[in-house]
Chains A and B, each alone.
Chain A
Amino acid sequence: EIVLTQSPATLSLSPGERATLSCRASQSVSSYLAWYQQKPGQPPRLLIYDASNRATGIPARFSGGGSGTDFTLTISSLQTEDFAVYYCQQRSKWPLTFGGGTKVEIK
């Protein structure tokens, strides 16, 4: 199975700062990578699909990049509502797999 490794595990930043999250795949997933945001007690929310495409209703401050094995999710200017856990997920091969998550917390 394809293992996704997210880093850092925790990112401590202040509102207005730029956040850069990383997701590395154990083998190429082409561009078949998605990003989700999850807040406590809520289901995940799709942010980005196929590496760089924003899902419907997602603000432009969220952007995704990368291909092959290395991907990034960037939040250009953190808003208070952005502090949450973020997961990447590959859809290149079965089984579908998720990364372990990056928690973005308020510094």
Chain B
Amino acid sequence: EAQLVESGGDLVQPGGSLRLSCVASGFTFNTFWMSWVRQAPGKGLEWVANIKRDGSEKYYVDSVKGRFTVSRDNAKNSLYLQMNSLRAEDTAVYFCARGFLESAPNCFDSWGQGTLVTVSS
């Protein structure tokens, strides 16, 4: 069974940086697209970023372009999200999610429990 475990969430000041990690197990990590999806407190879901199996393609929602960078280390079965120039509106639970289908854009069939990022002074 696929398992995804996020870490790295924290309280950070506006303008600060944070790096989220997601460790995968139970499946062949390098054969799946991976994504980050976030959920602000009490709000709906927002897709943030996608990365292809080999890291050669990356896609972002407009609101994070130029500030966030998605990456992966297939040798470590790990997905990352480097977040710079953080804003209050980036406050959310960040989920790591596995792409369900081989092609992209895709939907998500396995999710982590999420890690909370709070941007506040």
Residues of A near any B CB (own CB < 8 A): 1, 32, 34, 36, 38, 42-46, 49, 55-56, 87, 89, 91-101
Contact = CB atoms under 8 A, between A and B. Distances in A.
B101 A49 contact: yes
Interface residues on B, range: 20 to 34
B29 to A, nearest CB: 18
Interface string B25-38: 00000000001000
Interface stretch (B14-22, B80-88, B103-111): B103-111
Given A43-B112, A94-B59, A95-B61, A49 B44 contact: no
B46 A94 contact: no
B41 to A, nearest CB: 12
Contacts of A36: 45
Contacts of A56: 109
B45 A98 contact: yes
B117 to A, nearest CB: 16
8 contacts: A43-B114, A46-B100, A46-B109, A49-B101, A49-B109, A94-B105, A96-B105, A97-B47
